[in-house]
Amino acid sequence: MPTINQLVRSRRTNKIRKSTAPALEKGYRGIAVSSGMAAVNVIYQGILGSGDHVISTEAVYGPSRAILENHYPKYGVESSFIDTTDLNAIEAAFRPNTKLLYIETPANPTMDIADIQACADIAHKHGALLAVDNTFCSPYSQQPLTMGADIVMHSMTKSINGHADIVAGVVVAKDPAVYKILRGMMVNLGCNMDPHQAYMVLRGVKTLSIRIDRATENAQKVAEFLENHPKVEWVKYPGLAS
């Protein structure tokens, strides 16, 4: 069962393997799973229990929100969805039973950006964990664990694989104890990645930097073009000076 470490290691020599062993996300270890939503549920079920509360980005990936709203209440899990770009709103949303702050930044498709370090500080002050959906940026552009997050996840179906020919996910933990909990949940859920998925992701990782550079370059040009177009009233893109 491949981990995120294995996905980014060189296969040339043991010496190179040791020097590149840290994951792209600079976490302790990763858990490769069968889909992005498998990664989401490994986090939810690993961290949350009956009577617990989770705070989430209001514009979070649709199924990540839908499953909290429609399925987890029957297990006694409460959830709140707020604007996680507003630190005061985050602080106000915390309850004594809040165990997890789950953010997606940048959010898809709103492009809302949360302050990961500030979110981590608030969560930790309240004894909660911070998990970040980093699918949009990929670890090439953003590494939430270096900014204070405890857990990061990806739908590797998107940027990391990059070829739209598999479905896959990954969860990376910063702390060994959190990793142990999450990996145990993955085993019990049976949502592990299969060997062919692992092969396809390995192939995609090799071109991650090239693809993200080109996508970012193209997006910037499109955003600038639209911003200056007389028929476009507004454009929301983080790369614009406006």
Q: End-to-end alpha-carbon separation of the chain, Å?
A: 45
Tokens of 107: 């959010």
Active-site annotation holds for 11: yes
Q: Cβ distance 218 to 237 under 8 Å?
A: no
How far, rounded to the nearest angstrom, does the alpha carbon of residue 109 sit from its chain's CA centroid? 15
Which residues, in sequence order, are bridge partners of residue 192?
33
Given the residues 158, 180, 203, 211, the one annotated as active site: 158
* Catalytic one of 52, 112, 115, 133: 133
Q: What residues pair up with 102 in beta bridges, in sequence order?
A: 56, 131
Question: How many CB atoms lie under 10 A from the CB of residue 15?
Answer: 9
User: Distance between CA 50 and CA 77 in Å, rounded?
Assistant: 5
Catalytic residue among 9, 28, 29, 61: 61
- Among 11, 12, 74, 231, the one annotated catalytic: 11
Radius of gyration of the chain (CA): 18
61 carries an active-site annotation: yes
Q: What residues are labeled active site?
A: 11, 61, 133, 158
